[in-house]
Amino acid sequence: MREILTEDRYKFLKREAHKLLNLSSNNNPFYLAKALKMNINICSLKDELKGFILDNSIYINDKLDLYSQKIICAHELGHYILHRNLNAFELFDTDTESITEFEANLFAKEIMPQMFSRIDMNEIKYVSDFNKFIENQIRFSK
Ligand SMILES: [Zn+2]
């Protein structure tokens, strides 16, 4: 993973994730979003759109199973904290080569390590390795 993010950027990302975790006694990303006074909207979205963030609201596709909704919520919180300077259009980016997607996914991993226990970050050499892994975790249940 060293090839992808600088040591400083990775440290910053971890620090921000742990600052957020300190706001709640629970690492459930829905509670963390509440602690930031954000709104969560589980709603009907176009099939392949899993979620997005707009101002202080996180929108999550209601056709995802609960596990996937939590990952998406943690991912969107990552964008909120790490990528405030980017506009919503850029955040719709689902390109598996996207570094912003990689960072948001890494943020989700810091928030919910128990959900990512099967991945060894030392084996991540390319942005797409991790992004595809996350992509494969997300399931539409309905
Ligand atoms: Zn994203």
Indicate which CATH number applies to the domain containing 113. Answer: 1.10.10.2910
Q: Is residue 43 part of a domain?
A: yes
34 falls within a domain: yes
Flag whether 65 is in a domain: yes
Report the pLDDT value the prediction gives residue 55, as an integer from 0 to 100: 86
Per the structure, the count of domains in the chain is 1
Average pLDDT score over the chain? 90
From the CA of 77, how far away is ligand 1's center (Å)?
Answer: 9
Q: Is residue 127 part of a domain?
A: yes
Residue 1 counted as domain residue: no
Q: Please tell me which residue, 121 or 45, carries the higher pLDDT value.
A: 45
Average pLDDT score over residue span 34-41: 96
Residue 142 in any domain: the answer is no
> Which is more confidently placed, 38 or 55?
38
For residue 62, the enclosing domain spans 7-137
Chain Cα centroid distance, residue 90: 15
> Averaged over 114-127, what is the pLDDT?
86
Please give the distance, rounded to the nearest whole angstrom, from the Cα atom of residue 75 to the centre of ligand 1.
6
pLDDT of residue 122: 83
pLDDT at 66 > cutoff 80 = yes
23 CA from centroid of ligand 1 (Å): 23
**Residue 88 in contact with residue 53, Cβ under 8 Å?**
yes
Q: Could you read off the pLDDT of 67-119 as tens digits, one per residue? A: 999 999 999 999 999 998 776 656 666 677 889 999 999 999 999 998 888 88
Q: Which of 84, 85, 20, 76 is nearest to 49 (CA)?
A: 76
Q: Around ion ligand 1, which residues have CB less than 5 A away?
A: 101, 104
pTM above 0.85, yes or no: yes
pLDDT at 119: 85
In a domain, 2, yes or no: no
Going from the C-alpha of 41 to that of each of 21, 45, 57, 86, 123, the distances in angstroms are 21, 11, 7, 21, 35
25 domain residue, yes or no? yes
